Amino acid sequence: MPQYADSYDVLGRVLVEQGEMQAAFDIYQKAAELTPGSVTRLLHAGTLAFYAGKNEEALTALDRACVIGVTSKMFDDHALVLLALLQFDARDGKGLQRTHDHLGRRRERATDEARLQRFDAAITALRCLHDKKLAQAMRMVREMTDEVEGEEMDMEAACNVVALWARLNSQEVQLDEMPTQVARVGQRFCVSKASTEMLVAAAQNAEPAATLIRDSHVNISAMAEQAMGYALNGAPAEAVKMLLAQGEQTRNAKLIELAGLVAQRHHEKIDDAATLAAAAKALMTRYCSKGAHLIGTRTGARAAGGLRLRA
């Protein structure tokens, strides 16, 4: 049934989960073509175009979504940040201001003020960069990055921060702190191929950010493999303790959730299994409960075809 648009939504979500951003974009673009009046599918297509590196297609889809649906409850405000990034890259100062104005009007009736406040800070930083106010932009981006150790930061905010550092570093200024800051974000949010590729795409595949992010993913995977080696060699307690220590240090959901799974599976072989499982659950509650919002709306996401990456 090639004209059944809902089937494209399902396939698109599967492809995003697998980190296949280009293929996901092709699917969501087809869905948007089948239902040209759907704000949600335009947002899907524009967002996936952004993460697939197709800036022109992303700009077209997101701009049209604003034209036909920026006042709609189905509109996802993160699209305004992605649009602002694209307008900054295109040196479109007027467009950047217009997008910021859209966000200002959305904030007047927002229910998630903290989220929109982060978006406002990101777009304000872009406008400072556009106006060559580098010191002010750097201060704002540092403040946003400092939230990476906190409980409220999610994948959405992580992508915004990485995108801003990559653009700061391209402003004819060599930022010695940029590698450290990007690595901080990467070690927490590189939990899968999909999340890693999203962060790389947010950085425009620019170096050294892209390599730093992929290295973070490799390092996290190496930690997980080392811990599982302990479990396979008859020392599951050591595996759980190692995962908990590294999970608490990095806040990485992959390590934290793996600690809980190993503690649960090998509880008969671990003397203090209940204590370790409780510690893992506490870390999961603090750092893994939000998942990774990508596209769609925060309320009624299922009905709107919203999409989240699993933590």
Inter-residue contact 126 to 83 (CB < 8 Å): no
pLDDT tens across 143-156, in order?
A: 999 998 888 888 99
Angle between helices 78-89 and 39-51 (to 10 degrees): 50
Burial call 119-139: b when 16+ CB within 10 Å, e when fewer? bbbbbbbbbbbbeeeeeebbe
Helices (H) and strands (E) in the chain, counts: 15, 2
**Tokens 């190692």 correspond to what residue?**
242
Q: What is the rounded CA–CA span in Å between residue 168 and residue 146? A: 16
| C-alpha span between 264 and 261 (Å, rounded) | 5
What three-state secondary structure class fits 189? helix
The residues, any chain, with a CB within 8 Å of residue 151's CB and separated by 6 or more, are 286, 287
* pTM (two decimals): 0.86
pLDDT at 85 over 70: yes
Give me the residue spans of the domains in the chain: 1-71, 223-287
Q: How far apart are CA 255 and CA 232, in angstroms?
A: 16
Q: Are 65 and 29 in contact (CB under 8 A)?
A: no
User: Is the separation of the CB atoms in 54 and 25 below 8 Å?
Assistant: yes
Tell the residue number behind the tokens 């999409």, with chain if given: 307
What's the pLDDT tens digit per position in 118-136? 999 999 999 999 999 999 9
Residue 293 has pLDDT above 60, yes or no: no
The pLDDT of residue 18 is 82
- CA 48, CA 221: separation in Å to the nearest integer? 25
Contact 213, 186 (CB under 8 A): yes
pLDDT band, residue 294 (cuts 50/70/90): low
Residue showing tokens 């979504």 = 65
pLDDT tier at 304 (50, 70, 90 boundaries)? very low
What is the chain's Cα-based Rg? Answer: 20
Percent of the chain with pLDDT over 70: 91
Tokens standing for 256? 């934290």
For domain 1-71, which architecture applies?
Alpha Horseshoe (1.25)
- Residue 307 DSSP SS3: strand
**What SS3 state is found at 19?**
coil
Confidence of residue 57 (pLDDT cuts 50, 70, 90): very high
For residue 196, pLDDT over 80 is answered with yes
Confidence at 5, pLDDT banded by 50, 70, 90: confident
